[in-house]
């Protein structure tokens, strides 16, 4: 390598070093903890601590129903690996389409009572590629986005190049005001059913009423609700009897279903258009058959079984009441995601480190860019497999850590947008 080339490479590496150091300085650097799940012992995992392996209880997993370790799900994946191999072999248009994939799309469409569904490699990709394509295909489309929408939705809307208006979180009067101001323009209302950070629920029925009144189409992100809400696990729209009034539903297979992948479901003509115009679908490998088989088994099981949802609901109610009695600042959301406001990300990280090292409880802080700067939360995800003793241990440990660190907190579920 020439001296000039070497100097150029070093100059480039300074940019990367500076970018990483900037994140370290503002405490938004992503640092992972090596925690390995223990088969058959969910929600316990092994933490590779500085002193060696140690069992810990996990309180921050999206796998809230334990489906990633359910025998039907694991069995379906193993059988399919032996039958079809590990990977899909290519994109959907080359050689990646397989029977398991088609069966899964049909099951998802039936779950949400829609005509068709299309799979993506993740929920993030479904929003980023799908939402951008949908908005881009409608001439002069205006997207009205709830200010708490997930970053994948924000990215999808931005990539579309369409005009965007942001309405204050769950503020129906503000949404109506924007619709009046933009009357006559093709409009898409994008929102979530359960919001990931605050855990609160959207007023879906009233949003649908406004959409009908102003001729807008609705795009609902059900990622935090599918599997968990509704009689068959189809989400909040099903629970509220509103599935038929939602035009487009997005969901994930990586949370309650314990697998990987995302999807969009709606009318056949919409799905057909996405297959050709959503670049995140067309230019990446298809979901592997074993993952499709595992997801299919998880969806079918949760359409038949309700005890996981019922047990989770009981644990959430019990934990919320116990946190309130302990004087801890639990957020007002009514969903299955519980947030404790801390305020300072450095304090939040220190609290989580103490919970892990001193009490064997794995919990991670949430800070910028998931929430605004100078804001931090401890985000608690109970599961259907936590028992009463584990709930008590968590609350007592949190109360002790709160006394130890005395965080200055205020509940402010504002958007990072």
Q: Which tokens sit at 234?
A: 């189809």
Write the CA distances from 137 to 199, 249, 276, 334, integer angstroms.
32, 17, 11, 36
State pLDDT tens for residues 222-257: 999 999 999 899 999 999 999 999 999 999 999 999
State pLDDT tens for residues 146-167: 999 999 999 999 999 999 999 9
* 73-77, 150-154, 273-277, 408-412, range with the lowest pLDDT: 408-412
| End-to-end CA separation in angstroms for the chain | 44
State pLDDT tens for residues 60-101: 999 999 999 999 999 999 999 999 999 999 998 898 899 999
Residue 57, SS3? Answer: strand
What's the pTM? 0.90
Starting at the edge strand that comes first in sequence, how are the strands of the sheet with 142-146 ordered?
Answer: 116-120, 262-266, 248-252, 217-221, 187-192, 142-146, 163-167
CA 109 to centroid of chain Cα atoms = 20
The overall average pLDDT reported for the chain is: 90
Distance CA 199, CA 222 (A): 12
Distance CA 157, CA 152 (A): 9
């Amino acid at each position: 390598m020439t001296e000039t080339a070497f100097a150029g490479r070093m100059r480039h590496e300074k940019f990367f070093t500076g970018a990483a150091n900037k994140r370290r300085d503002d405490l938004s650097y992503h640092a992972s903890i090596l925690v390995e799940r223990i088969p058959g012992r969910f929600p316990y995992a092994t933490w590779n601590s500085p002193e060696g392996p140690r069992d810990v209880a996990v309180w921050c997993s999206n796998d809230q129903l334990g489906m990633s370790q359910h025998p039907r799900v694991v069995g379906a994946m193993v059988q399919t690996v032996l039958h079809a191999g590990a990977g899909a072999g290519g994109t959907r248009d080359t050689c990646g389409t397989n029977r398991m994939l088609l069966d899964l799309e049909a099951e998802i469409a039936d779950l949400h009572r829609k005509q068709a569904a299309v799979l993506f490699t993740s929920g993030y990709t479904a929003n980023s590629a799908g939402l951008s394509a949908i908005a881009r295909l409608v001439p002069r489309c205006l997207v009205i986005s709830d200010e708490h929408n997930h970053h994948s939705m924000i990215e999808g809307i931005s990539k579309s190049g369409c005009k965007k208006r942001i309405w204050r979180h769950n503020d129906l009067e503000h949404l109506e005001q924007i619709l009046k101001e933009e009357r006559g323009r093709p409009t898409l209302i994008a929102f979530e059913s359960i919001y990931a950070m605050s855990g609160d629920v959207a007023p879906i029925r009233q949003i649908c009423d406004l959409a009908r009144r102003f001729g807008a189409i609705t795009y609902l992100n059900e990622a935090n609700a599918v599997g968990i809400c509704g009689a068959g696990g189809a989400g909040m729209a099903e629970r509220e009897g509103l599935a038929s009034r939602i035009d487009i539903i997005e969901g994930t297979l990586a949370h309650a279903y314990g697998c990987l992948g995302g999807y969009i479901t709606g009318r056949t003509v919409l799905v057909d258009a996405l297959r050709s115009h959503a670049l995140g679908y067309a230019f990446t490998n298809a979901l592997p058959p074993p993952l499709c088989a595992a997801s299919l088994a998880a969806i079918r099981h949760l359409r038949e079984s309700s005890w996981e949802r019922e047990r989770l609901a009981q644990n959430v109610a019990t934990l919320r009441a116990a946190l309130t009695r302990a004087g801890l600042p639990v957020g007002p959301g009514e969903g299955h995601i519980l947030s404790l406001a801390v305020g300072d990300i450095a304090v939040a990280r220190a609290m989580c480190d103490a919970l892990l090292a001193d009490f064997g409880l794995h919990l991670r802080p949430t800070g910028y860019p998931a929430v605004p700067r100078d804001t931090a939360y401890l985000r608690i995800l109970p599961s259907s497999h936590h028992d009463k003793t584990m709930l008590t241990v968590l609350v007592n440990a949190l109360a002790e850590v709160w006394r130890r660190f005395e965080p200055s907190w205020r509940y402010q579920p504002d958007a990072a947008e």
